[in-house]
Each structure stands twice: as structure tokens, then as C-alpha cells.
Amino acid sequence: MPSAFPVLERHLFGPGPSNPYPEATAGLGLPLLGHLDPEFLRIMDETCSLLRTAWGTSNARTLPLSATGSAGMEAAFVNTVTDGDVAVIAVNGLFGERMCDVAARCGAEVVRVDHEWGAPIDPERVAQAHPNPKVIAAVHAETSTGVRSDIEALGQLKGDALLITDAVTSIGGIELRADDWGIDVGYAGTQKCLGVAPGLAPFTINDRAFERRITTPRSWYLDLGLLGGYVGTGGGGGRTYHHTAPVAMVVSLHAGLNRVLDEGLEQVWARHAEAGQQLQDGLQEMGLELFAQEGWRLPELTTVKVPDGVDSAAVRALLLERHNIEISGGAGAYAATVWRIGLMGHNARPDAALLMLAALKDVLARV
Amino acid sequence: MPSAFPVLERHLFGPGPSNPYPEATAGLGLPLLGHLDPEFLRIMDETCSLLRTAWGTSNARTLPLSATGSAGMEAAFVNTVTDGDVAVIAVNGLFGERMCDVAARCGAEVVRVDHEWGAPIDPERVAQAHPNPKVIAAVHAETSTGVRSDIEALGQLKGDALLITDAVTSIGGIELRADDWGIDVGYAGTQKCLGVAPGLAPFTINDRAFERRITTPRSWYLDLGLLGGYVGTGGGGGRTYHHTAPVAMVVSLHAGLNRVLDEGLEQVWARHAEAGQQLQDGLQEMGLELFAQEGWRLPELTTVKVPDGVDSAAVRALLLERHNIEISGGAGAYAATVWRIGLMGHNARPDAALLMLAALKDVLARV
């Protein structure tokens, strides 16, 4: 069994993970602390506080779940719906699809509102899909299509329902205001615009949703009633042991969030907007056609149509081999006809956009 | 919001996490790879193969789940039991207790077989607790009490039931032979004797259990039917996207496992045995009394009674403050009357045992 492997330095310009901020990488390598060490508890408290800023929320129950973003989705549903509850789910890509699967496994009666892939959700149609759902769920930034949807408008129309929002690819990259927009439950990932390695799911739930939660959810690991004690927001002031926190990942997230918030959230959003615009302009100047609907394109994740006669996989392989650049194919039915190019987090920079454009030109001339 | 924090170097001599092997820490800090990068897929394949050796199994479905050890427990039950299935669970400590909670949430009819804390399970009593259970579950090394149980004997008595085993604190520290002992489903953690930071749950399931699994479990995130495709053992030879692997943690586990297996599993077990014996002898020479029943004491995790009149918390605080040494109180009813001292993974060394004994002597003279 060979134990050595080459150390590759990739430009991670796909839909995530992105290259972490150097501070986040340095955080991973620090001497490990115990999960109950007073110093670690302080770092965890600060991390939850920093996450509140990133979410735009004052929710006490804001924390990094100890698993990846997909577990955040599961936590959102398993804590809010059970057998027979109605869940209206907006579907305009892969992650909306996945929500339907996850909610159904929790026992929910899923009312699925389909949209064309590449288009945003229609908040009115979603809000009118059922007279009295327990939850309404939508994806803010669809990683599969590169499309933003208007969560604020959906929040205004949600009525009595709880609004669940997938912010995996939006947090730290584009405007996100959980409280102002009426998001009751939100989940995200660390490995996109927050610029931290994958492994945690930033999560937030407000009092309104917490009070209506399933008190003994099917999942022990993701039970928010128990997890409040774990991060010291369960009331009573104390901490209760739940599971061993993934200490190194939390310390890394703490470092990454500090980097982002030291720069300033609005400045970081502007940097993503600028890099994305530069990339999208450049791609169109090369004669390529963008996939996501104009006006709803994510700056942090660009979808572009593979030109006729070009072998998508060959281009991706040559980008990787020749330039150490990773981009991704499309999702689902668009696997071979769309590329997904992300400039997220630390990669939302003019030099990264230039390199991406130049490398794609180079490779398209060779295949 | 202060972004700087002091870098503390702790001796992690509690029940986990332990100080990682330096190779595992170095793995965390390597440039990040994409989760679908061919190089990462190779590292993932090797990691699964190395885990097979650590488990003592040839199970194809052996992988690191993308969450901590407690999620491994949840994965074991949510994939094997559903409403009305009988689960016989041996309880001789906190983690047996937790199994009952987790199994009940999956809908199982739990038949709980209680034992005294500090004693091993009685395989005959467990096996006779129900005529026809779907699963029988037990903890190999109880982290709450420092006790080993005889899983091999339970495996011989399990009959038609599936045997679920918690190996969180045994894997990489003491003899563990999943296939020879008849373990059908096993889960573990990375942060104890494997000497890697917390964040992943090494998991294994054999064909017999996989064939009898719940085909659409309540959990999407932990659905072993979907996870087989994620690590390329789902049959058909391909990989299917499930979730974004926690890349840095997997690379770190790969490095830690290589360190352990380069030394040799039996040598590593012997090193744990020696360090634990040295510690336990030294504690008894100091006049302290061990908690776990003689003959069943874990070398990697020692439980010792707090002497009458000594303030357990004051001793732990002074160890941390004066010597940067973390140990833990007892679990449950023994919180204030037992200490838990771990010499696990990289810490299973004579110098660590000496330091621990000397520091405890020093602190006991001061409180």
C-alpha cells in the first residue's frame, strides 16, 4: 500500500470546494484542542457569533453542524416535518430535487413546484401551491444551474408556513439577509463562498421555527433540541455533551469567517460580483453562451453552454492536466452540455478570472 | 470581534480527541483537492482499503462517513431497523444508553439489557434477551467507563440477528477483528486510537447486513445504498455524486492510517497495552483505585476513582492550567467521582504515561 502521494496545487474553479482562504488552511493545522477545552468553547461561541453576521440573523440557534451541507438540508427537514406534514418545495435544479427526497423520507407530504432548470423560482406560484403548508422550501443559489432566486419575495408570501432556505452557495458570496427576508430555517456549506474546506454545515433556526419543531426527531445526531445544549444556546447557561465537535474544522471555519468579516460582508459580495462579471463578460466575448437566465445569474457560479462539437469532458481533463484547473460539467440532463465555473471565496479575484479565461481559450484551441 | 487567539499546545490525555499523529495534522494542511479530482478519488479508495485492514474485514462497503462517530451509530441503526423491528441493546455505559435512544428514534422496539457500569457485558444474557431480534448491539470499548467487552463471544451467540458494534474507542488501539468475530455492522471514530482529528466515522457493513438493510432509510445523508456509489463500491464500477466529501479530513485520515499500518496493527496494539499498563500500575502505586473491573480494563482509556476529599474539577483545572494536560471527569452519575485518562494513538507512549503520572502527583500535592 503506497503511503506517499504527490502534492497537487489545484485551482478549484468548479462548483465547490473552492480554494480555502490561507487563514482557514492555517487553522486546520493548529495543535488540536479538546472539544470541551475552555479555549475551544470560546472559539465555538465566537464562530456561532460570526455565523450570525454571515447569515444576517440574530438567531441564538446559529451553529456549525458537524457534517457537510447536505446534512444541513436533512437537519432542516427532520426537525420541522414528520408524517403527514405538508412541505411545498420549489424545484429549479438538483438541490430542489434533493429536498423533495429528504422531506419525503421525513414523512412529509411533498407538494413539488417545478420550474425550468436555468430559471429562478416563481415566488407567487410556490406560495400558492398549497393553502396551508407547514413548510415552504427553496434554494437561494442553485449550484446545479448557477441561478439565484428571490427568497425575500418568497418570505413576504409565505404566510403561516416556515420558510426553509438552502444558502449553500450563497452565504459569503451574495447578499443574504435571513432575518429581513423571513428565513425561518437556513442551512449552508463551508466550502463555497466562505472559503473553508468542506465538512461543516452552517445552520440557523429562529424561535418561531424552534417552537414548532418536531420535539423528538427521527435523527438523534441532528436533533436541534439536543444541539442547543452542545453550543451553549439551549437555555440555562450550561453546556451538555452531545457529540465530539470536529474541532479542527471549527477552528478553520472560525479563521475563515474572521477573514471574510474583517474584509466586510458587503465588500466580499462586491468582490464576488466583480469577478463573476469579469468572467461572464469574457466568456461571452469568446463567443460562448451562458446557460442561466439573464438577470438571475450567480456571480460566484457561472454556467456556460459547451459549444457544439466540443467534447466537454476532454476540455475539463485538459484544463486539469495542463493548468491544474478544475471546473465541472453540468448537473443531471446537462452533464455533457454545460460547464460550471466557480469563482468563490478566495478565488473571487480578478487574477483568477483572467487565468480561467486564458486557460479555457488555450484548451479550446487544442481539443 | 477579536480574530486572534493564543495557540495552545495541549496534552490531550482525556477520552478523546487525542493528539493526532503529526502525519495526520500535516495532511489537514495540504492544498485542498476537489472531491471529484482523480487524485482525491484515489486517496479515498486507498483510505477505504486501509480502513478494511484497521477493521479486520474484507467488506467492500467500508468507508469514512462524513460526520463524527455518533453519526456512525445513527447510520448503523437507521439502515438496519425501522418501525417494529426488535433491537436488543447491551447497556453498560453511556454509549449503550445512547444506542437505545437512537434505535428507538428509528422506530425499533428496544430490548435493553442493563449491566453495572464498570463491568463488561454478559454475552449470554444479551443473546438470550429476545428469541428473534433483527439486531443485537453492543459497545466494544465503553468510553464512559473504560471497559472492554467480549464481542467475539457475542458474535458466536448472535444467531440470525445482525451484530452492530461500536468500535469508536477500540479501533486502532486494541484487537479488533470484525470478520472473525461476526460483526455485521461496525462504526468508529477517528479521534481516539487512530490518532486523527474528530470529524469522520469509519464504518463497515457486510453483505449479509446490506442485503437485509432498510432500502429507503429515513436518513438520506446516511443512506448506505446511496453511499456505496459515493465511494465507488456500489457496484457497476462507477461513482455517483452524493455529497461533497470532507476532503481535508479524508486526506488526514489517509495519512493517519498509513502511519498506523506502517507501524503494524499488532505493534500498535502492543504499544497501547504497554502504555496503559504503565499508567495503571503507576496510578495504583500512588494509592489510587481503578474503576473498571479487573481483567476488562482498556489500556487506551483508564478510569480511576477520585480519592475521598479531593475536588475532581479542581484537579482537572490545575492539570490544564499548570501542565496543559487535559483529562476528563467521569460520565453520568460518576461525573465527580471518576477521572478518565486516555493514552490513545500518538499518545500511547512511555513518555506520555510518565508525564501523566508525574503531573497528577504534582497537582494532587497542590489541591
Q: Where residue A114 sits, what CATH number does that domain have?
A: 3.40.640.10
Pick from A20, A37, A105: CB nearest B32: A20
Query: Does the distance separating the beta carbons of B102 and A220 come in below 8 Å?
Result: yes
Q: Do A320 and B32 touch (CB under 8 A)?
A: no
Claim to verify: residue A207 and residue A285 sit in the same structural domain: no
The answer to whether A219 contacts B249, with C-beta atoms less than 8 Å apart, is: no
Number of domains in chain B: 2
Which regions in chain B score pLDDT beneath 50? 1-3
How long a stretch of residues is chain A? 367
Contact check, Cβ <8 Å, B220/A98: yes
Q: To which residue does cell 487565468 refer? A: A355
C-alpha to C-alpha distance for A137 and A164, rounded to whole angstroms? 5
Determine, yes or no, domain membership for B6. no
Residues A164 and A223 both lie in one domain: yes
A339: domain range?
Answer: 11-17+265-364
Residue B142: strand pairing partners: B147
Closest residue on chain A to B107 (Cα)? A218
Q: Do B45 and B172 sit in the same domain of this protein? A: yes
Q: How far is B156 from chain A (nearest CA, A)?
A: 30
Determine, yes or no, domain membership for A242: yes
Verify that B131 and B239 share a domain, yes or no. yes
The verdict on A148 and A289 lying in the same domain is no
Tell which residue, A189, A188, A192, has the closest CA to residue A205. A188
Same domain flag for A33 and A177? yes
Give A239 or B68, the one with higher predicted confidence.
B68
**Of A235, A253, A256, A234, whose CA–CA distance to A245 is shortest?**
A253
According to the model, what pLDDT value does residue B1 have?
Answer: 40
Tell me the pLDDT tens digit for each residue of A246-261: 999 999 999 999 999 9
Q: What is the distance between the alpha carbons of residues B84 and B69, in angstroms, rounded to a whole number?
A: 25
CA-to-CA distance for A245 and A232, rounded, in angstroms? 13
For residue A279, give how far its alpha carbon lies from the nearest alpha carbon of chain B (Å). 21
The answer to whether residue A2 scores a pLDDT higher than 50 is: no
**End residue of a domain, out of A235, A262, A289:** A262
Question: Are A285 and A316 found together in one domain?
Answer: yes
B237 and B318 housed in the same domain: no
Q: Which of B154, B184, B194, B153 is nearest to B69 (CA)?
A: B194
Q: What percent of chain A has pLDDT over 90?
A: 94
Instruction: Decide if B26 and A29 are in contact by the 8 Å CB cutoff.
Output: yes
Distance CA B208, CA A203 (A): 37
- The verdict on A281 and A154 lying in the same domain is no
CA pair distance B254, B190, nearest whole angstrom: 11
Burial (Cβ within 10 Å: 0-12, 13-18, ≥19) of residue B238: exposed
Q: Tell me, what CATH number does A350's domain have? A: 3.90.1150.10
State whether B31 and A199 contact (CB < 8 Å): no
Set of cell numbers at residue B183: 460483526
* Bridge-based pairing state of the strands B185-187 and B135-139: unpaired
In a domain, B2, yes or no: no
Enumerate long-range contacts of A347-350, CB under 8 Å, 24 or more apart: A347/A11, A347/A12, A347/A13, A347/A18, A347/A19, A347/A275, A348/A173, A348/A193, A348/A268, A348/A271, A348/A272, A348/A274, A348/A275, A348/A276, A348/A299, A348/A300, A349/A271, A349/A275, A350/A274, A350/A275, A350/A278
Supply angle C-alpha A245, A246, A251, rounded to 5: 105
Alpha carbon of A246: minimum distance to chain B alpha carbons (Å):
5
B113 and B128 share one domain: yes
Q: Which of the residues B28, B187, B318 would you substitute to probe the A interface, choosing the one with the greatest number of A C-beta atoms within 10 Å?
A: B28
Backbone conformation region of residue B135, classed left if phi is above 0, alpha if psi is from -120 to 50, else beta? beta
Instruction: Supply the ipTM of this predicted assembly.
Output: 0.97
Question: Which residue's C-alpha cell is 409565505?
Answer: A158
- Are A40 and A156 members of one domain? yes
Asked whether the beta carbons of residue B12 and residue A5 sit closer than 8 angstroms, the reply is no
Flag if A7 and B25 touch (Cβ within 8 Å): no
| A2 in any annotated domain | no
- Residue B37 within any structural domain of the chain: yes
Question: pLDDT tens-digit profile of A91-101?
Answer: 999 999 999 99
- Give the mutation candidate from A221, A250, A326 for the B interface (greatest B CB count, under 10 A): A221
Q: What are phi and psi of B329, to 5 degrees?
A: -75, 180
pLDDT at A233 (0 to 100): 74
Residues in contact with A100: Cβ distance below 8 Å, sequence separation at least 6, in sequence order: A89, A91, A110, A112
B101 contact partners, CB below 8 Å, separation of at least 6 = A220
Residue pair B189/B198 in contact (Cβ under 8 Å)? The answer is yes
The confidence score (pLDDT) of residue B4 equals 61
A162 belongs to a structural domain:
yes
Residue A200: what pLDDT?
A: 98
Query: DSSP assignment, residue B240?
Result: -
Which of A18, A68, A102 to mutate against chain B (most B CBs within 10 Å)? Answer: A68
Distance from CA of B323 to the nearest CA of A (A): 14
Evaluate whether residue A6 is within a structural domain.
Answer: no
A107-166 confidence digits (pLDDT tens): 999 999 999 999 999 999 999 999 999 999 999 999 999 999 999 999 999 999 999 999
User: Which of residues B262, B290, B319 is at a domain's end?
Assistant: B262
For the segment A278-298, the average pLDDT, to the nearest whole number, is 98
- Confidence (pLDDT) at B3: 47
Cell numbers for A104: 419525503
Q: How many CB atoms lie within 10 A of CB A79?
A: 27
pLDDT value of residue B59: 97
Boundary-marking domain end, from A243, A262, A281: A262
Does residue B147 lie in a domain region? yes
* B307 shares a domain with B179: no
Helix/strand/coil percentages in chain B, nearest 5: 40, 15, 45
Chain centroid offset of residue A87 CA:
21
Other Cβ atoms closer than 10 A to B277: 14
